[in-house]
Structures are given as C-alpha cells and as structure tokens.
A and B are shown apart, each in its own frame.
Chain A
C-alpha cells in the first residue's frame, strides 16, 4: 500500500515548474528517463553523495568540489546511479561554465537524467517549491486514503450491500468501476450508466485477453485473502495520476474483501449479479436491449443464440447452477421469489431447445433424487428483446403448476399447453371481470368462512377429484354422511346444484380464479390435496 503514497511528480514535471523554467534548464543526458518519479529534492556538494541517498532523489549541486577532477566527476555520477537517484541538476557558473563532458558522458551511460541550469538561482527556492508540492501531494494522498477508508468502513459497518460500496468507490474514482471474478465475469458495476455501458460493450474482447486487462487508466486490484484470490476490482479509465488511482483501487479492494468477510451475503456475488440481471429482465422496467451489455459481461453468450427461459420451483439457484455446469449448458440462474428460480439458457442456433430443456430437467430430477423439481418453460426465443416475455411466461407456467394439485402426470418440462384452464385462469387473474366473477360465484362461502372455515377446502377437494364423493371424504378425513351435510351446506350457501355440470364448472373456474388471486396462499390451497396423495385434476 505504500506505493500509493509515493509522490507523483516526475523529473519532467519538476523541470516544467515555473520557478525552475526561470533557471533555463537543459537536459544534457538521460533524456529518455525523465518520467522517473522524484521522491525528494536534496542539495549535496559532497563527492560521496551516494551514501547519503536512499533512492528517488533529485540531487542539486554546483559541483564546487568536483571541478578539475574528471575522475571524481565520473565517480560522482556513478555513485548517484548506484544510489538510484532520480536525476542530477547542476547549476552552471560557480564551478562549471559549461556542462562538463565527463559528467555528461557518465550520466548518459548510466541513463541518469542530468540537467544543467544556465541561470542558476538559490537552490533553497527550488527545494522549497518542490518539497512543498511533494508534501501537499503526500498529504492529499493520505487525506484521500483516509476519507475513502472512512466512507467505506462506515458502509461496511452499516451492512450496506455491495452495490452501495461500489457506488461510493465510483464517486471517488469518477470513472466506471467493475468487479469481476477470476474468469473476468462481471459481477457488479458502478459509475455513470453510459460510461459503464461503453466499457461493458467491449468486455468480451477485454475478458478474453488471456494476459488480463491492461490499458491507459485501467487500474486493477486483486480481491482475496487467506492465500486465495477470488476476483478483482478494476477502475476503467481513471483520469487522475497513477499513484492516486492505485491508492483508490487498493482501498476499494481492502474494503470489498472486508465486506465479503464481515457482511457476507446469503448469495455469492455471482448469484447476486445474475439475480439483478434476471430480475430486471422479468420486471421489464429496463428495456431488454439496454440490459444486453450486462448480460454479455455476465458471461452469457448473446450473439446469434437461442434463448430458453425456464423457471424451476423447489430447487436452489446453487443446485441449478451446478447442473448447468455439469451439462456444459451456458446460462444464468437467479432466484426470483416465492421459491421460484429462473434459468435462462443460451444455446447455439443449431441446437434443439426443447430437447436440451428436457435433458436439463431429466438430469436435474435424476440428480435430486426425489424427482420433484418441476421445470416450467416458455417457448425458445431467438431475439433478445423477446426474452423478458419468455421469462414471464415461464414464471406464469411455474405458478400455475404450483397451484395444481400434486400427482398430476406432468412432463419433465411443463409448458403453457400443459397447464390448460389453470394457466388461462392464472393469466386472467388480475382482470376485474374475472375477479368479480369469482367473488360473485363464491360469495356465499367467502362470507361465511369464519363460521365454517372448512367448507372451501372441501369444495376444492370435491372439484379437484372430479366430484368423487368417496375420495373426497377419504382425503378430507370425514365420514360420508358428514361430507354430504357439508356439500349440502355449500350448495345452499352458493345457491347452486353441484350435480349440474355447468354450474359445477362455473364454481370450479371461480375457485381457480380465487386461488390464483390468493397466489401467496397457494401453498396451503394446493396442499389440501398434496398432503393426502394423488388426486385427479
């Protein structure tokens, strides 16, 4: 971390200072090394000056102790070189009227910048000028370091999410900030949206460089601890000086490592990144086209691909991600809500999306042991813009399946066509006409549920079993006479004859719509039949 505190003035910058220019400086040797950093300015006349230096100094001299002794002149330069001085500045006039050739040649051989001042001025003025600038820079660096550290530590202490940390880092760096894993997959970004998009647009090329990411103003810092690296943070196109960029990147990396250790997260950064992307896709808040750079940077192949939107219930994102890896299927996985997890497969155009979705579902079931995981799928999409609708369709199918009684003979991959009326009702559940229809049909029961709370479940089982009274009695754990009494009560309250097919169908549709509206309660609704084993739908 000390590198960040190194002064950032180069030999060239010192020579460009107004006070120095007044001395008419001329570089007579080592012109190719003027970008060396100057750590300090030191005035020294002693011939053995080298022993007093620790490296990085710009040494000012009049050469009074060297005049007339070519061997001492050459040795003076060599000792500066050995001590890794940044440059030597010789004021002409006192000892040397012109640049001494011996010193110039020795400096050139060593690659040590040698500068003569044709109009020398008191060295104290130069040291004061340079020193104060160096100190100011050091102070600024320490101050920046402290303020960044304080801000990030405050966020960690407050349990802020990763994105908030990155936003703070981006405020300080004023350039896009990208966090990647070791595979260069972008896990999170911050900074001005259009600048971030510009970076991400080119990310595939950047990420595929085996040697890593390099370039002007690209400052990287590794993320890791306990001997293991797991990612990196990149400031993309930092416009300040290199030392400050390094300082910022190092502070940011320290904070992110601490964040991961202390705040942690129920989900890995990879999962969070995929979750953000898929959630945005599903919600439709951001147009799909704008999410394309993020998808590409998240490692999802997007050019000339077929996208297969899937939603899986009762299988964790981690497990689904593992299955994708096992099968070598490119895709991203993220938990949505209510136990549903979205998977977006990206296939080559020549691959069969239905066959591979089935392969995925079959291998998922085989691996899970219970065969329970239901994979809901939408039709494959060849255009990225159609992906959000596809994901919503898959989610819709998954929810319709969840509302179905268990034991239905569903294929490994369930599609809209497999969820029949339930799918339609679920699609229409928010329609006011459907809502009022359901309320109208079930009014007599819904109003009275407080008095007789089990009438609705009895009705649901009765309709789900295809109006099979003995099966309903068995599943509801009631005697046949008790069931008859309840069915009569239901008919009386609803004012319908359940033996009439059309009336029963109407009540059934109303009940499906009611359950779909009560989506959050669907677990208990479905379990009426689930917990008692298979039933006919």
Chain B
C-alpha cells in the first residue's frame, strides 16, 4: 500500500533574538500546514544563534527543560492546532549543569512523544560543542508519530554510520538530520553523506542546515536543505544556500518497500561479524 507523507524542513537565518526566531518558526509551521504538510523538522538549536562558535556560558540560558519548558509547551499547542508533527531541535537542560543537544518530537495531536539527545559531540574550531553539551544518552529512539516512524540524528552525528543503522533497525521511515554546518568545512560532503545513509539504510532522510553568517563568528551556514529517498535520489531540488526556505516534499513510502525488496541490506547484514566495532 502506498502511503505518501508530505514532509517539510525549514532553514533560516538567525534573526538576532530568541522570541522573533520562535515566531519565524511558528509562521513556518503555519506555512507548512497551509500546504498540507504532515511533519516538519526545524534546524539544529532552532531558536538560537549557533552559539558554539564561541565558548561562553551566557548561552547556557538558551537551554530549557524538555518537555516541561515553555517552548515545547508552545509548540505542542501549535502542533495540535495545525495537526502537524513537529521535530524541535533545541538546547536541553536536564538539571543545572547537565545540558544536551536534543530534539523533542511532538505528535500531530500535540502530545509529547519523546526526545533524542545528540550522541556525538564535536570540539573543533567554530564548533565548540563539548563546552555546551554532554554526549547524548538516549540511545536510538524511533518515534511512532501520526504520519510514520521518525528518527532524529543531529548534525555531527551524521558522520557516524552506526547511529543511522540503529535507527533503521528500529524501524525509522524518515530520519531528520538537523544541522548547523559551514561552507568551508563540509559543503562538499553535505550531499554525499546523508544520501549514502539513506541508501545504506533504505529510508528517507531530511537534512536541514541553517543559512547566513551570524554575529558570533565567521561560519557561513550554507542551507541547501533537502530530502533524499531510499535510492539516494533527491526528492525535488535542494534548497537555496543563502535564503530562508521551507522545503515541502511528498515522500512515497512505497519507495521504501520497493527498494528494500530489491536490495536486501537488512537481510544480508552480518551483525555477528561486527563485534570488533563495539569493542571499547
């Protein structure tokens, strides 16, 4: 049976303050819903600047509790109003001093389904994330939403094939990869890694990257958000590398079955031979 998921991702530039940034995303959710989108994922740390360009504890303020914090509550109401599944990548404070780079998943009826905490945390020039986040401890949750089974793999995670695989084994149909990555660093692999993950694991991937240069550093975020299908083919064009853009695409889940029936990667994988991968 063919089931088409109208899925969306949204890329935008830092507005300069948290409240207007939230409003821009609320409007994006309304714009997506106007088109009949059923699920929408925002960019990494969506309501803030990409503060990891500097190491400044003032930005700890951006963290809030998930799901008890006001932003999750606010977007739960919006998800319910619009009948839209929302993936909210945000800065999470579990308790003071225990902070994560997290994505909360809200179902189309506004209920909170759970969260994924970014597992792999970089610490390189312009991406000083270890200053802000503990490595995630949520494992590889896949959320059974109103529109399908959704996984989240955040930014730097994408360089590690193991998590992509774990999400596939847990039944993900779409994996969102909210990111903040800059032109000089990764643009040439941005359209290689996620398509490779999509075909290796035979599911859809929605990749999101913010746009523009922010006041905290010279990182030039190049957008180019896109959806890619289980054959590693782009679904429509990737988005602009400079402009704010909402990407809405129809993902036909029949494609997932068709590709898995053709390429039996799940049948033919050999977990018994992979023990060295998990040796400490």
Which residue numbers of A lie inside 8 Å of B, CB to CB? 182-185, 207-211, 228, 299, 301, 322, 325-330, 348, 350-351, 355-356, 359, 363
Contacts and interface: CB of A to CB of B under 8 A. Distances in A.
Contact of B237 (A228, A299, A359): A299
Given A182-B224, A211-B195, 14 more contacts: A183-B238, A228-B183, A326-B31, A326-B243, A326-B246, A327-B246, A328-B32, A328-B37, A328-B245, A328-B246, A330-B236, A359-B31, A359-B34, A363-B31
A207 B236 CA distance: 9
B53 interface: no
Nearest to B187: A229
B245 A325 contact: yes
Nearest to B34: A359
Contacts of B247: 328
A211 B248 CA distance: 22
Contacts of B8: 328
A275 B194 CA distance: 34
Nearest to B246: A328
The list of the 6 closest CB pairs from A to B, nearest first, reads: A328-B246, A210-B195, A208-B233, A328-B248, A325-B245, A183-B237
Contact of A326 (B37, B195, B234, B245): B245
Contacts of B248: 328
A81 to B, nearest CB: 33
B279 interface: no
A186 B228 CA distance: 20
Given A327-B31, A330-B236, A363-B31, A351 B245 contact: no
Interface of B: 6, 8, 31-32, 34-37, 183, 191-192, 195, 224, 228, 232-241, 243-248, 250
A183 B224 CA distance: 9
A100 B201 CA distance: 53
Nearest to A347: B35
A355 B233 contact: no
28 contacts: A182-B238, A182-B241, A183-B238, A185-B237, A208-B234, A208-B235, A210-B233, A210-B234, A211-B192, A211-B195, A211-B232, A299-B236, A299-B237, A322-B243, A325-B239, A325-B243, A326-B31, A326-B243, A326-B245, A327-B34, A328-B31, A328-B37, A328-B245, A328-B247, A351-B35, A359-B31, A359-B34, A363-B31
B153 to A, nearest CB: 18
Contacts of A322: 243-244
Pick the most buried of A209, A322, A326, A355: most chain B CB atoms within 10 A of its CB: A326
Nearest to A348: B250
B244 A325 contact: yes
B245 A210 contact: no
Contacts of A207: 234, 237
A356 B35 contact: yes
Contacts of B228: 210
A207 B34 CA distance: 28
Contacts of B243: 322, 325-326
Nearest to A322: B243
B236 A301 contact: yes
A29 B18 CA distance: 70
Contacts of A327: 31, 34-35, 246
A503 B101 CA distance: 76
Contacts of A325: 239-240, 243-246
Q: Which of A327, A356, A363 lies at the interface centre, i.e. has the most chain B CB atoms within 10 A of its CB?
A: A327
A210 B192 contact: yes
Contacts of B192: 210-211
B196 to A, nearest CB: 8
B247 to A, nearest CB: 6
Contacts of B31: 326-328, 359, 363
A326 B244 contact: yes
Nearest to A358: B34
Contacts of A211: 192, 195, 232
Contact of A355 (B34, B37, B246, B250): B34
B35 A184 contact: no
Contacts of B240: 325
Contacts of A330: 236
Nearest to A183: B237
Nearest to A351: B36
A493 B108 CA distance: 71
A368 to B, nearest CB: 15
Contacts of A210: 191-192, 195, 228, 232-234
B237 A328 contact: no
A359 B250 CA distance: 20
B36 A329 contact: no
- Tell which of B34, B224, B250 has the most Cβ of chain A within 10 Å: B34
A301 B192 CA distance: 24
A158 B14 CA distance: 43
B220 to A, nearest CB: 10
Nearest to A205: B233
Contacts of A184: 237
B33 to A, nearest CB: 10
Contacts of B245: 325-326, 328
A490 B236 CA distance: 61
B177 to A, nearest CB: 14
A279 B177 CA distance: 39
Nearest to A212: B191
A184 B224 CA distance: 13
A325 B13 CA distance: 13
Nearest to A184: B237
Nearest to B250: A348
B24 to A, nearest CB: 9
Contact of B35 (A182, A329, A363): A329
Nearest to B237: A183
Contacts of B238: 182-183
